[in-house]
Amino acid sequence: MSTNPPKIAELKAEYENAPSLLKGDSSAKEWLDIPVEFRDGNWCHAAKPEVIENLGFNNPRKWSPDDPDWQLEEGWQQIVLAGMKERLGQFRSFKLFMDICVRCGACSDKCHFFLGTGDPKNMPVVRAELLRSVYRHEFTWSGKLLKGLVGARPLTEEVLKEWFMYFHQCTECRRCSVFCPFGIDTAEVTLVGRELLNLAGANINWITKPVSDCSRTGNHLGIEPHTFKSVVESLVEDIEDQTGITVNPTFNRKGAEILFITPSGDVFGDPGIYTMMGYLMLFEHIGLDYTLSTYASEGGNFGYFTSNQTAKKLNAKMYHEAERLGVKWILGGECGHMWRVVHQYMDTMNGPADFMEEPVSPITGTKFRNATSTKMVHIAEFTADLIHQNKLKLDPRRNDHLKTTFHDSCNIARGMGMMEEPRYVLRNVCNSFNEMPEHTIREETFCCGSGSGLNTDEYMDIRMRGGFPRANAVKHVKDKFDVNALVAICAIDRASLPPLMNYWNPGVQVYGLHELVGNALVMDGEEERSEDLREDDMLEIETESPVQEDDA
């Protein structure tokens, strides 16, 4: 980003003279002919050369997306087109999605980026068309012969810049695919689009740096084992300060029954750490035989936002660690895209995990048959089962200072179809739960606007636009029910919704589901609690009122 703000004359010239789909001077032009404009706030920093070298990707160099010359290597078009050809053969879905769209328009107003910007290129149909136009030009007879008449165009540097702009204004949330009569999954188009960008050396640092870190230390922040352990231990101290209970997590313990893996954001970031405290308290309360791994110290997978190979590579550590430690099954924390990878790809990417057993809750005996193949259970279904079997002592009044609503994370709701379990847990740990309007939740949920590796600060303007539809629905329940707590089960949500709320709905704080579980949990031998896990005052509770009893 430039150091100095633009001068007034520059701003005026930029707005008046440069063509854009959003301005009045584009009427005589085809949308394909309108070049993209990179301006502060609408692009992410380019990947640093050392990161690209670490990963062995193409064309490491120092560059910036707002440079006129991107320093692309000689013959980059051939590399990208060969990559496209390879993927058309490899992924039947991609080939199908390039051919079958009839431009019915059902998806056009379903994307949160379109709704927050009004930019026609953010209509999912048009975003996919950015790639389709090149596909037609290179791989179909009609495109080769009729060219522009059938919407075909050659791959140029301008086209590549357009891909860079708009495949980074798609969070792979798949809301549009819910409405497509053909089931076209624009997320998969974006996945391939980003793979092709990587081939051309047009990567962003916010995604590639975590991938590089994760390859080395196992987590996106590049935190080494001793730091990971000491940070978890300081959370243990915080729990002790607040509850008087000492929880005892173990690290890399061979022979534990369960390996627990969660996003590193839960260990290091605010407010994720309070969710982590909730997990640790829950496991102590039920006496779970579990261990944490300092290598599988990241549930998230930014490799998934880069290419299928890097997704596979970063995911592999989960099974490697499970095998090394000899656990029976894996329990996974609150994360979004981690679960899309686990639910839809892990089994075929890195499985079968025959060395583990079908997951069975050691507390309730419930068999998680849905996870028979992957051997990995989502914490929301694990906790929902504990509550359903009456194994937890909970006092939901401890969350009476919170009026909650629930944000369905895209990858959990649409990616793995989990909608009821988190709501069941939430209803049992708090007394005020208020749903957002019908078409903004569950499978039609609006994205936080920062998913798929876009939650970087230089991209704040675009993130605020993309998250606007979600924030608007939260505003509705804030006005109607005085909602002050937005609960989410995704680490990117916990990182990106606080700024979104701070901008659009000041006064609404973001919580993880298990943070509220931790607040409500009545643990044996605990000290009297008057503050929640983030040290905010709870409302005073009348002691004679009954508490839900357990039969454990």
Partner 1 sequence: MSSPFELLIAQHKKAILEQWLMLRLGIFSSQKKSLLMTQTDQFQNPIRHEMEQGLAGILADFENRGAQFSEALDQITRVLAIQDFPPSKATALFYELKEIVRELAKKNDVGFGAKEWKKFNHQIEQLTLTAFDSYVDHREKIYQIKVDESKNRAFMLLKKAGL
Binding footprint of partner 1 on the chain (CB under 8 A): 8, 11-12, 14-15, 20-27, 37, 39, 41-42, 108-109, 114-118, 120, 221, 223, 227, 230-231, 234-235, 265, 267-271, 273, 437, 439-440, 457, 460-461, 464-465, 468-469, 472-473, 476, 495, 498-499, 502-504
- For residue 127, give the H/E element and its range: helix 124-139
Minimal distance in Å, beta carbon 464 to partner 1?
Answer: 4
Please say which residue, 7 or 254, places its beta carbon nearer to partner 1.
Answer: 7
Minimal distance in Å, beta carbon 118 to partner 1?
Answer: 4
Minimal distance in Å, beta carbon 268 to partner 1?
Answer: 5
Asked whether the bond before 271 is cis by omega within 30 degrees of 0, the reply is yes
Please say which residue, 40 or 50, places its beta carbon nearer to partner 1.
Answer: 40
CA 297/CA 282 separation, integer angstroms:
19
- For residue 487, give the H/E element and its range: strand 485-488
CA atoms within 13 A on the CB side of 180: 21
Please say which residue, 78 or 230, places its beta carbon nearer to partner 1.
Answer: 230
Minimal distance in Å, beta carbon 426 to partner 1?
Answer: 22
Give the strand pairing for 485-488 and 509-512. Answer: parallel
Question: Residue 538 is which amino acid?
Answer: M
Minimal distance in Å, beta carbon 455 to partner 1?
Answer: 8
Return phi, psi of residue 291, to 5°. -140, 155
| Residues with Cβ within 8 Å of residue 3, at least 6 apart in sequence | none
Query: Which residues partner with 433 through β-bridges?
Result: 404
- 547-to-386, 428, 542 alpha-carbon distances in Å: 17, 12, 11
Please say which residue, 155 or 464, places its beta carbon nearer to partner 1.
Answer: 464
CA atoms within 13 A on the CB side of 386: 26
Minimal distance in Å, beta carbon 66 to partner 1?
Answer: 14
Please say which residue, 112 or 378, places its beta carbon nearer to partner 1.
Answer: 112
Please say which residue, 39 or 324, places its beta carbon nearer to partner 1.
Answer: 39
CB 341 within 8 A of CB 304: yes
Please say which residue, 209 or 313, places its beta carbon nearer to partner 1.
Answer: 209
CA 257/CA 253 separation, integer angstroms:
10
* DSSP 8-state symbol, 471: H
**What are the structure tokens assigned to 110, written together?**
């379903």
Please say which residue, 210 or 396, places its beta carbon nearer to partner 1.
Answer: 210
Minimal distance in Å, beta carbon 19 to partner 1?
Answer: 11
| DSSP assignment of 364-389 | T--B-GGGTTT-EEEHHHHHHHHHHT
Please say which residue, 108 or 390, places its beta carbon nearer to partner 1.
Answer: 108
CA 280/CA 288 separation, integer angstroms:
10
Please say which residue, 111 or 521, places its beta carbon nearer to partner 1.
Answer: 111
Please say which residue, 474 or 513, places its beta carbon nearer to partner 1.
Answer: 474
Minimal distance in Å, beta carbon 70 to partner 1?
Answer: 21
Residue showing tokens 């089931």: 183
Minimal distance in Å, beta carbon 92 to partner 1?
Answer: 32
Minimal distance in Å, beta carbon 485 to partner 1?
Answer: 17
Minimal distance in Å, beta carbon 452 to partner 1?
Answer: 17
Report the residue count for the chain.
Answer: 552
Return phi, psi of residue 221, to 5°. -85, -5
Question: Residue 507 is which amino acid?
Answer: G
H-helix segments, 180-307: 186-199, 205-217, 225-243, 265-268, 272-286
* DSSP 8-state symbol, 329: E
- 432-to-114, 400, 479, 498, 520 alpha-carbon distances in Å: 33, 7, 15, 20, 13
Buried b (16+ CB within 10 A) or exposed e, 267-301: bbbebbbbbbbbbbbbbbbbebebbbbbbbbbbbb
Minimal distance in Å, beta carbon 312 to partner 1?
Answer: 26
CB 196 within 8 A of CB 163: yes
Minimal distance in Å, beta carbon 434 to partner 1?
Answer: 15
Residue showing tokens 């899309």: 340
Please say which residue, 481 or 503, places its beta carbon nearer to partner 1.
Answer: 503
| Residues with Cβ within 8 Å of residue 195, at least 6 apart in sequence | 83, 87, 306, 307, 308
Please say which residue, 49 or 269, places its beta carbon nearer to partner 1.
Answer: 269
